[in-house]
Structure 1
Amino acid sequence: MQEKTAGKQSVLRNIVSLVRENKEKSAIIAAVAVLCIMIAVICCPSPAVESGDDPVHGITWSLRADGTLKFEGDGEIVGPDAVHLSEADAAGVQQPDWYAFRDSVTAIDIGRDIRHVGLDSFVNFTALETVTVRGAMTEVDFECIRYDTPEGSESFRSVIVWGPAESSARVYAEYNSLEFRTL
């Protein structure tokens, strides 16, 4: 990671030197530099800052620096073994490792071969903005994404669900009155 950063800094220093030496072409050089940086940002995925390397129920997960929680594998995403996570401090409640990052997750990316997303898998993910379903998942629990909020307060933020046109993701979005966009 430090090598990539040092390499990027070296490239930027070279560009700045060229601009100083050749003022007539500085606008073109600056435009090319901006374009190069944009390509690097778009093409290079964010490195995982946390991950679950041991497959649980056939899946692995990683949390990227940009707030994307990504699931891959051939299996199912299961939520905690509790009915209400507001009681999460109670003895015996077991939560998935990635649940600890729920306040910083802004996007969920579900891989093509994930077959099922279970009850409360993403309960109380307060920063969640988008969910992308890459495959035609066979089953989605209608309460896999929800918020436990005090009575009378806003119970759900605006979440956009992305997925194949004919999929459980679309049915889930419609059932929960969420915006759906086709991949």
Structure 2
Amino acid sequence: MRALAALLPLLLAAQAPVPGTVSVEPATGDVSGATAQIFAEAVQGALTDVQFLPIRPPGQGRYTARLRVSREARGQVASSEPRWDSSGGLGSWGAALSVRLPSRKPQMRMLYATRLDIAIVPRGGGQPVWTGKALTVQVEATRNDSPAALAAKLARGVMGRFPAQSDEVAAIP
């Protein structure tokens, strides 16, 4: 009986939180300002999908979702996605317009790995009652590498695993 009583706190700690109200803190790590807010809004939407009720101001929910975003270069890749550039100018001899048409010629671009970690902790703080992680690798300066696309993709990837608890990082294409 004592053994069961000793295991009970461990079993309760291993269970995922019962969805309720949650405050989402702005993302920390390699993002700031508007990008941090974009990630916070994407996580709020993903939390809603798994029956949490995001509320404001921060710190007022039953739980607090703490976000961390990290981003690092992982090498280069040849990309054939076109870039649209144009420029113009006005001088004393007239005006000029330069338009660079897209080309399918491969260009070398950086690959960036972006990772989102979410920790759900009780309002008063303490140890997380649930954590999740997701990672995606995208070519820089593409539609899939925009903060909005990354945030939506990673937030759904992390919270799509809720309530399962895993230390593994979800790989998101």
Quickly name the TM-score band, shorter chain normalised. Answer: under 0.3
Of structures 1 and 2, the one scoring higher in RCO (CA 8 A, sep 6+) is: 2
By percentage of residues, which structure has more helix? Answer: 1
By percentage of residues, which structure has more strand? Answer: 2
Q: TM-score w.r.t. structure 2 length?
A: 0.23
Q: TM-score w.r.t. structure 1 length?
A: 0.22
